[in-house]
Amino acid sequence: MTEAAPVVTLDGPSGSGKGTISRAVAQQAGWHLLDSGALYRLVAYAGADHRLDAADVEGHARLAISMQVTFGVGPDGSEQVLLEGRDVTQAIRTETAGQGASRVAAWPAVRAALLERQRAFARPPGLVADGRDMGTVVFPQARLKVYLTASAEERALRRYKQLKEKGAGVSLAALSREITERDARDSTRAVAPLIPAPGAEVIDSTGLPIEAVVGRVLELGARRSLWPPRT
């Protein structure tokens, strides 16, 4: 595989902080960002929108190829996800949407259909890719692979706070259960299960502030000459 641009991958379970850390690293490095989880969420969402049968694998795989997605910035400067021109930023962030994503993500045809779409994000000067199989399947040539984790309790609590901030009515106990269920499905599926890529740098972020984790990733990247060392 030829390298269109250097890639840094951040994989890990839900609530490990991948999204936040990836965004901060991409911003500080001036690199592009791929939120691959959003693509799986969008496939499930588009499927429901098109009233596809929940078990229609081929239908969902076709949508994975044909759906029109735009990752952009909204009027208030926050990130915005458009599906066929419609703002679905909040709609795809619910835990229900996460469950839907995890269901379609277990289908090899959907994963295969999203492969090229994901690889197309690798453009100069570089890409930070966030997901479950970024380092194992999508970008095996990545220059730096990070596997981010945290204790189950802390991950549930982080997701709880995140969803609460967005005004969602959630219960910590229910969320904890759902996340455990989703992680179990993501880790045990036959294709592209959630596992650290060979050679991945494992970071346990339990009890660590965001800045410390971002700093660690930036330091690992600087050591590989991906960007200048921080002063």
User: Which residue in the set 32, 41, 60, 155 belongs to the binding site for ligand C5P (CB under 6 A)?
Assistant: 41
Question: Among candidates 137, 136, 150, which has minimal Cα distance to 199?
Answer: 136
Where does this chain touch ligand C5P (CB under 6 A) — which range of 2-10, 35-43, 58-66, 147-155?
Answer: 35-43
Q: Which two tokens stand for residue 67?
A: 């759906």
Residues 6+ apart with CB under 8 A from 85: 68, 70
User: Which residue in the set 7, 8, 9, 14 belongs to the binding site for ligand C5P (CB under 6 A)?
Assistant: 14
Where does this chain touch ligand C5P (CB under 6 A) — which range of 23-31, 99-107, 169-177, 207-215?
Answer: 99-107
Name which of 214 and 227 has its Cβ closer to ligand C5P: 214
We find the least distance from the C-beta atom of residue 228 to ligand C5P, in angstroms, to be: 29
Please list the helix, strand and coil fractions of the chain in percent, rounded to the nearest 5, in that order: 50, 15, 35
User: Which residue in the set 145, 182, 200, 213 belongs to the binding site for ligand C5P (CB under 6 A)?
Assistant: 182
Tokens 């991409």, located at residue? 26
- Strands in 144-149's sheet, in edge-to-edge order, are 32-35, 127-131, 7-11, 144-149, 201-204
We find the least distance from the C-beta atom of residue 60 to ligand C5P, in angstroms, to be: 13
User: How many angstroms separate the Cα of 69 from the Cα of each of 106, 178, 183?
Assistant: 21, 27, 26
156, 177 Cβ separation under 8 angstroms = no
User: How many angstroms separate the Cα of 215 from the Cα of each of 32, 209, 227?
Assistant: 18, 10, 13
User: Which residue in the set 98, 126, 135, 221 belongs to the binding site for ligand C5P (CB under 6 A)?
Assistant: 98
Q: Rule CB under 6 A: is residue 9 a binding residue for ligand C5P?
A: no
90, 166 Cβ separation under 8 angstroms = yes
Where does this chain touch ligand C5P (CB under 6 A) — which range of 22-30, 46-54, 97-105, 213-221?
Answer: 97-105
Q: Rule CB under 6 A: is residue 40 a binding residue for ligand C5P?
A: yes
3 state DSSP class of 142: coil
* Pairing relationship of beta strands 201-204 and 144-149 according to DSSP bridges: parallel
Q: Rule CB under 6 A: is residue 105 a binding residue for ligand C5P?
A: yes
User: Which residue in the set 22, 102, 149, 176 belongs to the binding site for ligand C5P (CB under 6 A)?
Assistant: 102
We find the least distance from the C-beta atom of residue 135 to ligand C5P, in angstroms, to be: 10
User: Which residue in the set 31, 186, 200, 203 belongs to the binding site for ligand C5P (CB under 6 A)?
Assistant: 186
Residues at the contact surface with ligand C5P, assessed by CB under 6 A: 14, 36-37, 40-41, 98, 101-102, 105, 131-134, 182, 186
